[in-house]
Amino acid sequence: MSEERRLQVLRAIVQDYVSTSEPVGSKALLDRHQLGVSAATVRNDMAVLEEEGLIAAPHTSAGRVPTDAGYRVFVDRLSQVKPMSHAEKSAIREFLEQSLDLDDVVDRTARLLASLTQQVAVMQYPSLSRSSVRHVELVALAPQRLMVVLIVSSGRVEQRVLEVSEDLLTPEGEGLVADLRTRLNAEVAGHLLAEATQGLADLAEAFPQRDRETVRLVVQALTDAMAEQREERVVLAGTANLARTGADGLTLAPVLEALEQHVVLLRLLSTVDADASNAVAVRIGAENPYEGLHTTSMITTSYGTGAVAGLGVLGPTRMDYPSTMAAVRAVARYVSEILDQ
């Protein structure tokens, strides 16, 4: 019972400190929370929590603030993540569904997450290397011009326009385009891009001699599109939110320096367990592997079928963890739904 009561006191200290940014004393706890114990008991519990390194006294203040270890215990003992309201969920869905293309989806998501959490939002672009083929489309633009369209699970669309020797607008040409489209999708749809081209090497041999050059051009265009290397990218939003947290022990210079190094952010976004449904990773203070982020917390999750990329928020350790975790999880879910459409 005493351990559970001390966790209740710790939870109250975290909630009050996040809300007020002021060190929390025993009198304030008794005034604001129905703890059901005496002031002496609360003081004793706070003394034990301080001995365990879960709270600390800043300077000579009579109040206490949570430590990184205290935040960690608080997060680990959350019985549930604070649910978002129906209105909030509807607003998220409506805002994201207005996206025009993948770039707009990423931009809107980052801005939305920064607005919801009042933290810095970080979103990784969907990676081609972890995406699978959704569909291949062939469109005859002119008698001897063919557009090859590769649609991948991340929502990215790649297009190539080819000049061919055959007339694609004749009945024979239309038949070739339809047959080739069917065979291509049978070979590559549903496969990871890194694996999808393996069954295309001998595809031309399945067609009549007159069609093989066209088939080879299409296969080469698809192979190039799937193999094309892209630099991993992240998008940031809400960096200005850091300015209002200067009093929270956040050292701005190293944090801003870390935010400029996208490789650091990509590493942090890539460690969520993709197999764990709705997994949200919380790194607090020194748990962040980059020293410049030791005064921050980062809440991240993955999105997209097969967890093609990550998103999350970064802010001071004094943050509303339940609400922020809920926002990150909800936004990731809606982004995944939009990209899967």
DSSP 239-284: GGGGGGGGGGT--HHHHHHHHH-HHHHHHHHTTS-TTSTT--EEEE
Q: What is the pLDDT of residue 151?
A: 85
pLDDT in tens, 258-296: 888 877 887 788 665 544 445 888 999 999 888 888 889
Count of positions (residues) in the chain: 341
Instruction: Please give the backbone phi and psi of residue 194, each rounded to the nearest 5 degrees, phi first.
Output: -65, -20
What are the sequence ranges of the domains in the chain?
2-76, 86-127+232-340, 130-227
Q: What is the pLDDT of residue 275?
A: 45
- Helical ranges in the chain per DSSP H: 2-20, 26-32, 39-51, 68-76, 86-97, 102-117, 171-188, 193-196, 212-227, 252-260, 262-269, 321-340
Q: What is the pLDDT of residue 197?
A: 80
Neighbours of 261 (CB within 10 A): 12
Percent of the chain with pLDDT over 90: 39
Instruction: Report how far residue 245's alpha carbon sits from residue 242's, in angstroms, rounded to the nearest whole number.
Output: 5
Q: What is the pLDDT of residue 79?
A: 67
Burial 292-317 (b: 16+ CB within 10 A, else e): bbbbbbbbbbbbbeebbbbbbbbbbb
Low-confidence ranges of the chain (pLDDT < 70): 1, 60-61, 79-81, 127-130, 154-155, 228-232, 245-250, 270-278, 305-308, 341
User: According to the CATH classification, is domain 130-227 in 3.30.390.60?
Assistant: yes
Q: What is the pLDDT of residue 245?
A: 59
| pTM: predicted TM-score of the whole model, two decimal places | 0.72
Tokens at residue 73, please?
Answer: 């215990």
* 8 A C-beta contact, residue 111 and residue 241: no
Q: What is the pLDDT of residue 60?
A: 66
Q: Among candidates 138, 220, 140, which has minimal Cα distance to 183?
A: 138
pLDDT in tens, 195-224: 788 878 888 898 999 999 999 999 999 888
Instruction: Please give the backbone phi and psi of residue 210, each rounded to the nearest 5 degrees, phi first.
Output: -65, -20
Q: What is the pLDDT of residue 274?
A: 46
Q: What is the CATH number of domain 86-127+232-340?
A: 3.30.450.40
Going from the C-alpha of 98 to that of each of 50, 91, 104, the distances in angstroms are 50, 11, 9
Q: What is the CATH number of domain 2-76?
A: 1.10.10.10
Q: Is 287 exposed, middle or buried (0-12, 13-18, 19+ CB in 10 A)?
A: middle
Tokens at residue 222, please?
Answer: 């698809």
Instruction: Report how far residue 324's alpha carbon sits from residue 236's, in angstroms, rounded to the nearest whole number.
Output: 17
